[in-house]
Amino acid sequence: MSAVAAVATASLVVAAVLVLYRLLSGPTLADRMVALDALLVLITSGIAVNAAATGSGEFLDVMIVVSLIGFVGSVTVARFIEKRGP
């Protein structure tokens, strides 16, 4: 693994730990949803870094599925929060 991939992976791990803290301590549902979206982006980024570092595209399909799950989940929770009201 190259130095750039190692630094990118370490940065993603640190960011994931911070996002997990926000996910667990978020006072509102919207805060938790934003943290979950950020975590899914970090997972997708981790898969992309792995694919670039190894030169293998085996997990690119998984990356697309994770992105789609994140999008559909965000839209679903946003509609739930909107219908629930203040």
Q: d(Cα 80, Cα 59) in Å, to the nearest integer?
A: 31
Single out the residue of 42, 38, 46, 33 nearest to residue 73, CA to CA.
Answer: 33
Give the pLDDT confidence score for residue 42 in this predicted structure.
Answer: 95
Cβ pair 37, 45 in contact under 8 A: no
CATH of residue 9's domain is 1.10.287
Q: What would the pLDDT profile of 16-63 be if each residue is shown by its tens digit?
A: 999 999 999 989 888 898 999 999 999 999 999 999 999 888 888 999
- Domain encompassing residue 51: 3-84
pTM of the full predicted structure?
0.85
**pLDDT grade, residue 86 (50/70/90)?**
low
Q: d(Cα 82, Cα 85) in Å, to the nearest integer?
A: 6
Total structural domains in the chain? 1
Give the pLDDT confidence score for residue 83 in this predicted structure.
Answer: 86
Neighbours of 60 (CB within 10 A): 12
